[in-house]
Every structure is written in structure tokens, then in C-alpha cells.
Structure 1
Amino acid sequence: MIGIKSRVMLMAGASSALLVGADLARADESKTDVNQVEQVVVTAAATQQKLTDAPASISVVTEEDLHLRPIRDLTDILDRVEGVTINRSGNQRTIQLRGLGSAYTLFLIDGKRVNSTSAMFRGNDFDAGWVPVEAISRVEVVRGPMSSLYGSDAIGGVVNIITKPVGKHWTGSASLDYVLQEDGDAGDAYKAGFFASGPLKDDVLGLKIYGGYNRRLSDANTVNPPTAAAGTPLSGIRDKHEGYVDGTLAWTPDAANTVLANLGWNRLTHDSFPMERRDWSLTHKGKYGFGTTQLRAYGDRIENEVGNVTGQKNPNKATNAAVDGRVTLPWDAARQTVTLGAEWRRQELKDPANLRGLPGTPTYNQNPVTQVDQKAIFIEDEVRFTDDLRLTVGDRYDDHENFGGHHSPRAYLVFHATPNITFKGGAAKAFRAPTLLQNSPNWGSVSCGSATTGCYIIGSTELKPETATSRELGVRAEFDRLSGGITVFRNDLKNMIDITSRTRDVTLAPTYSNFVGFLPDGRPIFRYQNIAKVRSQGVETNARFQVSDKIDVTANYTYLDSKNRSNPVELAMIYQPKHSANATVNMRPTDAWSLFATWNYVGEQFLAVYTNAAYNVKRQGYGTVDIGAAYALNPETTVRFGVLNTADKAIKRQTSDEYNEEGRRFFAAVTRRF
């Protein structure tokens, strides 16, 4: 590890290099292509709407929020949103919405779904990091089922990453960040990124391009204390390094038609698992007298270069392709807007190591490829009874190759009782089909802690899709200097797919309901099964107070009661704090200076839960405070600096169920704009 003095010098040098070396032209303030004050969202319904009219519980993380503190991926900012918790198993950080795991959160990039589960099934923290912060305009987080629009995987909600648009004038930025750990055994982090956008031919052809590199160095082996059981420390946070480049061409032949063509490349390496993603899309958007249309084809190929087992090299490749389209028809005479849409989607996985069939059977090693097709149609109707009362109803019918047809209906009411007070409420049903791996009879993998003496898990054709029913009711008040809202919700999930029921004990194995048999070498075999019923319910609140023209305070609080109801005795869900809260104070003492202080509280949570409660592992609640400042040297250059986890509330792993919470860190960053 390099010394702290050397790291301070490196951090200062990196910032200075950008300040001195960047020779970027001054931006014309009147030509800036950024989102303006009125917030419009596109994820909660088939049409874009003002945030106050959106038929869902939705939060928006703005571009300003993303640049407040260092952000390596979206888990570093979304844990500040009400209703969002972070699963931290094995020091991985994945997004959970309203008490449902990351598998029930659908990630979108500009409305296009992203899912790398087939390529990396053993815990997946890649999907929150495919887009660098420099390219993001905002992030829309919809809490609650959205299968009526997006189909499978949206049971918990949707995270839609909206990238910056192709601008009418050339603008851009370049930035450098460095995070310095006070603990010399913990890994520093640094990143560089750029974004540029503008016309190649005025009003006809435009381009946007972005790229970057992001790295968090691995903790030293001594970052955690020795464990009581083995006497050796558990690993800390492992090395992460990520590279990106992406480009989009926008062709506007006339006022009615726009064509977007996009190509992207990412290479993300988390610990010793490198994943390379190549994605593409071609989109047509039309604005005609009868309404608007969108037709899009897109896909990606994700290559897992080493596979899913530490210490082995078993590469696989997942390929996803989709075609979707929609037409939105305003019906002014009936005060309605109707949207009709359809989608076709194919998923394919080539995995010679795991798609081999069951060892010892005639079909073993016959076919390393599996795929599934899915088709869907949907309709959504927004009915405006009055200017203040609107009802959104919709349904999506998915025809899955393996599971047949499923409806996902939704109804949501928005009522502006006064110009300042809005009531919202709705109900929805959703479904989630088993993944390619879970449903394939030829898929299998080593498990139970050993590749040679553990157990073996396989897919199952007997699985049923998971289904969920959700209800919510909320109210929000908006006044000049004070605003806030409260929402109560309840989700009931049935047929949750499970593989936790397994053991390497050959005597106990036959007593498990999902036991299949034994491999020729004596290891027990278990298959995925539908067993779990989960109920998550709670309360989400948020508030904002404009103390003065120079000071504002925001805060939120979430109460979450999430239980596994599959057994006679209900069990708590792991990594689901019952209480969580956040507060931020922003100050702007001068036009050049802005300051912030944030508090993040993670309440008491279970890290491991057993039918015998004596073996449960619990983490007590804790809070961290970050402070920072930004200073505009001139209209083109801004520097940021501050301290993360100022009180050094670090958490060290002493059991495999625990996770590391990074201690005190210092950050510095510089951004140049043109």
C-alpha cells in the first residue's frame, strides 16, 4: 500500500492536471441543454408526465444530486431514496425496493431493459454500474409493481437511468475524482470521465459520446480483524475497475421524425470476475397529427470471461434482443389518452460449464445453449375526469414460451384536492418468470461451499412464475417553502423461487423437499423450487424545507416490515432494516460556493435468519455523516472536496454474513465544462 502522504500528493496532482491541461471553450449559458425546473418523468406511465401527475410512487435523483459526492455506481446514491435498501451480502451492493430483493428490481437505460443475471447468477452487482455518472441526466425510481408496462422482473419496481440528450449546441464536460481512505488498509478510489454532445449538421444530425474509467482498489488482507473461528481475517471490499465508451447519432430529417442509433461498450471487473458488455439500439420516434409513435430494436451481449466459481475459468455468454413499439393516441373529446404497445424479446445463454445436463445421464454434455422467447401486448388509458382527477388503468398480457399467458393489470388514481395537496393511490398485479437458469433442466452448478465436496443445484421445469399483488395510498403537499409526502404500501409475493434449501450432509439431504438424488461422486442434488411467500409493508415519507434563499433541508424516512411467511413461524428478511432515514442540508452562501452536510441512517437488520432464532445474526443500527463543498473557479471549472463518514463509523467483517462499511474518507474532484 502506498503511504497516505503519497496518496494525498497523487490526489492533488490528478486534480491539478485536469485544471492545467484542459483547454476547453467557455459555454454559452443560453445554449445549455439541461433539464429545466419543471420535472417531467417518463417511467411511471406510457407517456411523459409532470412528477405531481405521475401515477406511481416515484423519486427522481437529479444530475445535481449525482455530483454532490463521489459516486462509483448507483448504489452510492440510491440508498438515500425512501423505500430503497441495499443488499450487502458478501460485500456486494445491490438495489432492493420495498423489501424485495434485487431480482425484483428492473434496471432500464433510457427505457431499455438491462439484466446480466444469466451471465452472473451468484450475486450480481453489475447492473447498477453500466452507465457513468458523467452521462446521466437523472435517475427515476418507481417503487411498486410496474409489470403492466414492463412485464417480468418489475415486481419490486423500476430504476430507469436517463442519459443526457443530444444537444442543439456543442456542450460537454470532463472530470476527475479521487477518494482517499484514512485507513491505509482500505482501498482508495479514483475515476475520470467525459461527455460531449452537439450537432454535426444543424437541426438534422447530432452526436453524443461519453466514456470513462472508474476504479476502487482492493482492501488489504489486514483490513478486517482475525475471525474467532478460523483465526484469519475475512476479505474486505475487493478491487473494482470499470471502463466505458458509448455513442449515439440522432437524425432528424423533419419535425415529425427522429431516428437514434446507439452503440456502447463496457468492461466491468468486480473482484476477479470481468464482464464485457456490448450493446446496440435503433429507435424511431414520430410526432404526427393523430399522436406519437416509438419503434425500437435493441440488444446486448454480455460475456462473463471466467464464469461463476471463484478459482475456476468457465466463461459464458448471454445474448439479449428485443423489439418493441407503442402508439399514443390523444382522445381529447373523451378526455383520455390511450397507449397501445407490443414487445418481442429473446434471451439466450451459452454456458459450456453449467449447461451440461446432469452428470452421469445420457444427455450430459449434449447442448451448452438455452434460450427463451417472450411476446407481449399492453394497453394503458389515462382518463381525465376533471383537470384535478385522473385515473390510469392498464394491462399487459405476456405470452412466455415456457409458462404461457399472464395478465398484469394496474389501476392508479391521482386527485389534486387543492392546488397544494395531492392524493395518490392504486393497486397492481405483477408476475416474474423464472430465469433461464432456474428453468433449464440442463443447467447445474456446484454449491454448498465447495466445488468437489459440497452439493449440486439444478434448474427445474416444474417451477411456476412468481406473482405479486400490491396496494398503496399516499398524500403530498406542496407549498412555497415546504413540501412533503407520506405513502403506505403493502406487497404480497407468492411462489417466490428459492434454492436456499440445500446441504452437503448426505444424511440430511433426502429429507429436503427439493432433493433430487446423488451425483456419481456422492454429492447431493437440489433443484430450484417455489416455496416462499413474502409480505412487505411499510411507510415512506419525505420532506423539503426552504429555510431561506440560500439554505434548504431535505429528509426522508422509511419504515419497512418485510417477512418470509412460508413457514408456520414468520421469519424476517435479511438485509432489510426496519427503519432507515436520510437528511441533507444544502447551503449556497455565495454564487461561487455551495456546501452540504448529509446524514444516512441504516436501522437494525438481520444478516442471517434461521428457523431456530438462536442462530440469527443481527446488525445494530448506525448512522454516517458526510460533508462537502463545491467552488466555481469560473463558469467552466468547478472543484469539489469533502469528508465522507466524518465520525469514522467503520464496520469490519468478523463473520461471512457481515459486510464492510467504509470508514472516514476524503474526496476531491474537478470538472471542466465547455
Structure 2
Amino acid sequence: MRKIWITALLLSATPVTAWAQQAQSVDDDHAPATDDALASAATDIVVTASGQRQRLIDVPASVSVITAEQLAVRPVRDLTDILDRSEGVTLNRAGNQRTIQIRGLPSNYTLFLIDGKRVNAGNAAFRGNNFDSNWVPVEAITRVEVVRGPLSSLYGTDAIGGVVNVITKPVGDAWHGTLAADSTVQQDHASGNYDKLGGYVSGPLLPGTLGIKLYGGHNVREADAPTRNAAGATLAGFDRVEETFADGTLVWTPDRRNSVSLNYGYNRLLHGDTPLTRRSAALTYEGTFDWGHGQLRAYGNRIRNLAGNVSGRVQPNRASDGQVDGRLTVPVAALRQTFTAGGEYRDQALYDPAHLTGMPGVPGGSMRPSTRVGQWALFGEDEIRIVDRLRLTLGDRYDRHEHFGGRHSPRAYLVWHPVDRVTLKGGWARAFRAPTLLQNAPNWGSVSCGSATAGCYIIGSTALQPETSTSYEASARFDGTGMSAGVTLFRNELRNQISIVNRTRDPQLARAYPNFVGILPDGRPIFRYENLARVRTQGVESSLRADVTRRLEVTANYSYLDAVNRSSDPALPVAYTPAHSANLSANWQAGNAFGWFATANYVGRQYLNVSPNPRYTVTRDGYATVDTSVSYRFPRLTLRAGLLNLFDVRQDRLTSIDYNEDGRRAFVSAAARF
């Protein structure tokens, strides 16, 4: 093992050069009239948080941008490995499933997008879904945009907590590509090693008219060995995860103003005993006109869960999600405004013969093993340039849901540059989240309470109401030469959160629960989903970037989060929401070839299980981990090596709801470019 550490310290690689798309300058009509110093201080172009392309300092939202260079400096099994290094983002790792939380809200409140297209495996994997962050290999990503806070005014029901948009590399004017391989070896042989192989290629088929981009990959993370807790109970380790990706896009550009793209993708993930496959297709038209810009597209996903959602049983299902949407953005210089208007239609369907046939043993249950729901929406946004340095964005979206009627999601946001290099922002938004296809289906049901035969049974409910939220935020940002810093205050009130926490396997105790339905013929109590929780999250997010020298860059962020479930008296904390989290990174380029990178991550004290009875409350103290790597870049090859969790800070699970933090491990990687 000593040879592994020596090799890791001696081998080297530069932060891998990515074929990142260079954002074009914003049109003069869209840019604020600020001086060159301010304009050059924040040149990142953001496409997710408004109806138009905007510079990061002008966008009406709190946004973090993760670049391809940041993704490349250390091994990334999936996006959760890098997303939790952003301010305002933490991980929920119940039962060793890693899912992201934005401002304390679980992952099912975050909308995942790939190139602006929705991805959601929740209907097929309803017992916890950590698949949505796994669909794209790192080698194909040019950047990831993370919107912290609700964006339902543009994206609707799933964006009540935030949006993560994975933006893949564009089709190039010349052929180029990357082939990369990573291998990570655990010092503790009981923990699983992992390996990655990924590639990306792009180029013209007919120069200036037809181009193609292809990416794919194969990743394996071996399972951990079982462990024993302090009481001597055996606990399972992290499941084996195997991922395979393949995706291709044809882009036809008959002229400089119009483009048509056709995309098809296939993904297969095997997480423990649960294999999921996803097939996706999309057809997109984009056009630039004398009066504005437009987009029209149709896309869909079909996800098959070949094992089902109950351990030890094979109960396959399949879910589909199709959408047609379009938008127009029109700047009107005479009115100093930019208008965006659009609409969409979405259809979701699920075929699940194991869970959509009514309650077992109960006469009169529905025998139709499928369900579906449709909804349409219209949205609009108006950016008003009040004066050169002050913009007001007003937006609203009207969603018409098949089961819940119409809902509005308005927002208002101010962006002000009072002086050069300083940006002040503030906004208010209302958002809603409809019950999922399963939660609202009266003929859907599943086993629960820890047993498939002697526990309890949960069912959907037509009495559910959509969840709603009201949020506020205010921020200040400074962008100077070689340094930028920002701080954001936020508060979010979530009402009518849908819950199934009220349940028990005891038939006598069950009758006192407000969502108790009845008793199955085999004696198990039945409970329905209910609107219960009122959750408040508030806190502070801060970030800093500084060029200490011409070759040394340091970045840091710190987040304070106060997440409280106010449904009971007294109020209870929310699990997996550490009050304090922080990250510190240093990137040093000694020359054109050699580089060094180090990062430290702190996760504060958190609750792993919360109960009104203190006997069942589980907490974990705060801890910090450090990663470091070195790199060397040849003309066509980049080599990297390093140590993750350098000081071997172990966090082994004590209960089945807990999680493991991998100990010290070494990695080596190589990336060839052409």
C-alpha cells in the first residue's frame, strides 16, 4: 500500500484542459451601461436563471457556476462529488444514498436539467432517487449552473427549491475530443475501489452545415464490505454502482441564424440490486431573428426500473415523461425592456403492475396497472432597465394541472450596480410543487415500516394539495481585479409539505394517526400521504475568490443553514442539514505544465434522525476532509495523481439510516486530447 501513496505523490497532471464552450459576449442592447472594469470582472454567461443569456453579475437569481476545469481537478463519480462544494448545497446521505439539498430542501425539490431538458427518475424509483445526478460523464460537461432558490416562474413545479443545469460541450468547427481514465484505490480494503473511463468527440460532418457530438463512459464503484456497529449489529456497506453512458447529437445549421438538433441518449445504472435504464430523445429548433430569439423543442425520457422498489422482490416498472415547449425573447430598445414569453405541455405516465392494482386482498381495487397525468403552462418575464445600472425583472407562470387546476408562480427581482464592481441583488418569489404521480394516485400502494410482509402499507391520496413556498433573498457582490466576494441572505417558508412520516406497524397505535385508512386482511395498518409539514429554511451563503499571485488562485465559501420543521410544538430540526458547512481550495500553476491542487471540506454537526422522543434522535459531530493532487500536462496528454481524505478522517455508519465517509484513498488519471 505504501507504493500506492508514493506513486500518488510523485505522478502529476495539470488541471485537465476542457473543451469548454467560450461564452459569447452579450449583445449591447442587453448589457448594462457600466464601465470596462465591471464588464470584465464577471464574464461568465448564464443561461438557466432567466429567459435570456446574461452575465453572472446581471442574472436575477443566486447562481453558482462549476466549470469543466473545476470538475477535472479530482475524481468525480457523479455530480454530488462537486455540487456539495458550492455554497448553499449540502448532501442528504440517508442509507448511503447521496442526494443534493439546496438550502435545506431535499433533492426532489431540485429540478435537474441536461442542456435545459428535464430529467427525473422519481416515478420509477420512488424510494429515494440518487440517479438524476449520474446521467452525464464529466468528460462531456462544459459547465454546471446551480440556481439556489425557487425558479418556478420559468420551470414550474419541480423547481421549488432550485435548479441544476448540466451543460454539455458544443459541436466544434473542427474535430477534437478527449479520452480519460481514472482509478481510485481505498486504503481500507473493506471499502470499494472505483474506476472510470469516459470520452467525448465532436466535429463537422459537412463543414459549416452539419456537425455531430458523441460522448460515452463506463464507471464502476465496488461495494463496501459489511460493518458492525457498537452494539454488534451488522450493517451493509455502500452498494456496488455501475454506470454506462452513450449519447449523440446531430446539429444542422443551414445558416448563421437557424439551427436544428437531434439528440438520442442511452444510460444504464446498476445500484446494488436496482438496475435502471434510461432512453432519451430530443428535437430542438433555435432561431435568431431581427426582432429577437426563439426556441421550440420536443423531448422525452423513458426509464425502466428492472427490479422495482422492494428489496428481495422483482417488480419491474417503467415511467415516461414527455414535453413540448417553446419560448420567444424580444428586446424592445425604445421601452428599455426585454420580454420573454413561452409555454409547455408535459405528460407523465407510469406502468407498475406491482403497485398500481389497489390494496392487496381488498375487493374492488383497481386492476389497471398504469396511471398518467398531463399539465400545461404559460409563462412570461419582463426585464425592465429602470436606469443604466438598475434592472427589475418581473415574471409569472400559470400552470394548469389535470388534478389541481391552475396555479400562479410569480417573482420579482432587482439587480443594481450602485458603483463600478459592486452588485446588489434582492428578490421575492412564490412557487408550488404538485404531488407526484404516485402520491396522488388512489390505486397506488406499497409496503413500508421496514418489512414487506409484517410492516404497514402506504397509499396515494386524491385529497392532497400542492406544496407552496414563499422565499426572499438579498445579496451583495464585489468583483475587482484578481478578487471577487459575495454574501447572500435567504429565507424560505414551505407549507403543505407532503409527508408519510405518520405511520406504524402497530395496528392499535395506528388508529390514532390522522392519516390512518384501515387494516389490510393480513392485519397490516394502512396510511395515506398527507399534507403535514411546514418547513422554514433560512441562512447565509458567502464566497470568495482571490488571485494570491499570478499563478495561485484561492477560493472559499461558507454557508450557515437554519432548517426547522414547524409542524409540531416544539419545532424540530431537519435531518441532514448541517448548520455550518465550508470549503477552501487552492490551485497553483507552477508553469505551463506542472500544477498542484488542494481542497478542504467541512461538514458541521447534523441530525441523522429526528424524533419528538429524544431517545430516537441521532446526531453526528462536524468533521473535515482534505484532498490534494498534482498534475503534469504534455502537449496531448494530462496526467494527475493525488490523495483524497488525506488525513483519513473516517465516519462509519452506526445505524441503517446513517452513512459512511470514505477514508484515505489514492487516485491516478490520464486524459488524452486530440
Q: TM-score, normalised by structure 2?
A: 0.95
Pick one of 211, 228, 250 that aligns with 1:225. Answer: 228
Shift of 1:33: 6.3
Partner of 2:193: 188
Question: What letter matches 1:648 in structure 2?
Answer: D
Q: After superposition, what is the alpha-carbon deviation per residue over 1:194-216, rounded to whole angstroms, capped at 9, x for unaligned?
A: 10001001110000000010110
Contact 1:342–1:376 (CA under 8 A) maintained in structure 2: yes
Match of residue 21 from structure 2? 34
Q: Larger relative CO (CA 8 A, sep 6+): 1 or 2?
A: 2
Give the match for residue 476 of structure 2. 475
Amino-acid identity (%) = 56
Following superposition, which runs of at least 4 residues in structure 1 exceed 4 angstroms of deviation?
4-12
Distance across 2 between alignment mates of 1:189 and 1:614: 37
Q: Verify: 1:203 aligned to 2:208, yes or no.
A: yes
Is the contact between residue 167 and residue 197 of structure 1 (CA under 8 Å) also seen in structure 2?
Answer: yes
- Residue 328 of structure 2 is matched in structure 1 by 327
Which secondary structure state, in structure 2, belongs to the residue aligned with residue 569 of structure 1? Answer: coil
Contact 1:469 1:491 in 2 (8 A): yes
Partner of 1:401: 402
The change in CA–CA distance for 1:519 and 1:33 in structure 2 (over 3 A counts) is closer
**CA contact under 8 A between 1:227 and 1:655: conserved in structure 2?**
no
1:433-463: CA deviation from partner (whole Å, max 9, x where unpaired): 0000000000000000111100000000000
| In structure 2, C-alpha distance between the alignment counterparts of 1:172 and 1:189, rounded to whole Å | 24
Question: Pairwise mapping of residues 429-508 of structure 1 onto structure 2 (< 5 A)?
Answer: 429-508=430-509
Distance 1:509 1:273 in 2: 31
CA contact (8 A) 1:59 1:140 kept: yes
Q: Distance in 2 between matches of 1:356 and 1:7?
A: 54
The equivalent residue for 1:134 is: 139
Q: Secondary structure at the match of 1:405?
A: strand
Amino acid at match of 2:151: M
1:200-349 equivalences in 2 (<5 Å): 200-221=205-226, 224-228=227-231, 231-349=232-350
Give the AA of the match of 2:646: T
**8 A Cα contact 2:362 2:521, kept in partner:** no
AA of the residue aligned to 1:586: N
Instruction: Give the drift of 1:299.
Output: 0.1
Helix, strand or coil for the counterpart of 1:138? strand
Aligned mates of 1:479, 1:289 — CA distance in 2: 35
Alignment partner of 1:125 out of 117, 127, 130: 130
Report the counterpart of residue 80 of structure 2 in structure 1: 75
Q: Does 1:110 align with 2:88?
A: no
State the shift of 1:9 in Å. Answer: 13
Q: Please tell me the residue identity of whatever aligns with 2:482.
A: R
Counterpart amino acid of 2:361? G
SS in 1 for 2:511: helix
Question: Which one-letter code corresponds to 1:650 in the other structure?
Answer: R
Contact 1:32 1:169 in 2 (8 A): no
The CA distance in 2 between the partners of 1:7 and 1:305, in whole Å, is 38
How far 1:482 moved relative to its partner? Answer: 2.1
Residue type at the aligned position of 1:369: S
What is the CA distance between 1:417 and its match in structure 2?
Answer: 1.0
Q: Cα 1:280–1:127, aligned 2, differ >3 Å: closer, same or farther? A: same
Matched AA of 1:66: L
**CA separation in 1, counterparts of 2:4 and 2:464?**
53
Query: Which whole-Å CA distance do the structure 2 matches of 1:496 and 1:40 have between them?
Result: 34
Aligned length: 652
**Cα-Cα RMSD:** 1.9
Deviation digits for residues 543-590 of structure 1 (CA, Å, limit 9, x no counterpart): 111111011111000000000000121000000000000000111111
TM-fit CA distance, 1:7: 8.6
Matches of 2:333 and 2:627 in 1, distance apart? 50
Alignment-derived partner of residue 417 in structure 2 = 416
Distance 1:458 1:9 in 2: 56
Tell me the alpha carbon deviations over residues 326-365 of structure 1, each in whole angstroms, 9 at most, x when there is no partner.
0111101001110110000000000000001122344435
The verdict on how the C-alpha distance between 1:33 and 1:535 changes in structure 2, with shifts beyond 3 A counting, is closer
Q: Is this contact kept in 2: 1:316–1:350, CA < 8 A?
A: yes
**Do 2:8 and 2:643's aligned partners in 1 also have CA atoms closer than 8 Å?**
no
**CA gap 1:274/1:428 in 2 versus in 1, 3 angstroms:** same
Alpha-carbon deviations, 1:398-448, whole Å to 9, x = none? 000000000000111000111111000000000000000000000000000
Secondary structure at the counterpart of residue 161 of structure 1: strand
Partner SS, residue 354 of structure 2:
coil
Question: Which residue of 1 is the match for residue 585 of structure 2?
Answer: 584
Cα offset for 1:541? 0.3
Cα distance in 2, alignment partners of residues 194 and 570 from structure 1: 49
2:34 corresponds to 1:47: no
Contact 2:177 / 2:201 at 8 angstroms: preserved in 1? yes
Aligned to 1:669: 669
* Match 2:156 to one of 122, 143, 151: 151
Deviation at 1:5, TM superposition (A): 8.7
Change beyond 3 A, Cα 1:513–1:69: same
Output the CA distance in 2 between the equivalents of 1:8 and 1:301.
44
> CA offset at residue 506 of structure 1?
1.1
8 Å CA contact 2:19, 2:169 repeated in 1: no
Q: Match of 1:517?
A: 518
2:493·2:537 contact (CA, 8 Å) conserved in 1?
A: yes
Equivalent-residue separation in structure 2 for 1:312 and 1:301 (angstroms): 22
- For 1:173 and 1:615, the matched residues in 2 are separated by 50
- Is this contact kept in 1: 2:424–2:477, CA < 8 A? yes
- Tell me the SS of whatever aligns to 2:296: strand
Say whether the 8 Å CA contact 1:433–1:464 is kept in structure 2.
yes
Question: How far apart are 1:656 and its partner, in Å?
Answer: 1.7
Cα distance, 1:108–1:72 mapped onto 2, change above 3 Å:
same
CA distance in 2, matches of 1:315, 1:57: 40
Q: What amino acid does structure 1 have at the position aligned with 2:481?
A: D
Mapped contact 1:225–1:652 kept (Cα < 8 A)? no
Q: 1:226 to 1:540 in 2, by over 3 A?
A: closer
Confirm or deny: 8 A CA contact 1:8 1:180 kept in the other structure: no
Higher deviation after alignment, 440-449 or 379-388: 379-388
Q: Once the 2 structures are TM-superposed, how far is the Cα of residue 613 of structure 1 from its aligned partner? A: 2.5
Give 1:641's aligned amino acid. A
What is the alpha-carbon distance in structure 2 between the residues aligned to residue 181 and residue 313 of structure 1? 32
Question: Match for residue 643 of structure 1?
Answer: 643
Task: Give the aligned partner of residue 20 of structure 1.
Answer: none
Amino acid in the other structure paired with 1:52? I
The 1:33–1:532 alpha-carbon spacing in structure 2 relative to 1, beyond 3 Å, is closer
8 Å CA contact 2:607–2:617 kept in 1: the answer is: yes
- Asked whether the 8 Å contact 1:279–1:298 carries over to 2, the reply is yes
The farther-off stretch of 248-257 and 400-409 is: 248-257
Alignment partners' CA distance in 2, 1:551 and 1:175: 26
- Indicate how the Cα distance of structure 1 residues 620 and 11 shifts in structure 2: closer, same or farther if over 3 A, else same: closer
Consecutive unaligned residues of structure 2, counting only runs of 5 or more, are: 24-41
Q: Distance in 2 between matches of 1:191 and 1:608?
A: 34
Question: 1:17-64 CA distances to partner (integer Å, 9 max, x unpaired)?
Answer: xxxxxxxxxxxx9x9663259310101101110011010000000000
Alignment deviations for residues 484-539 of structure 1 (CA, whole Å, 9 cap, x no partner): 00000000000000001100011100000000000010100000000100000000
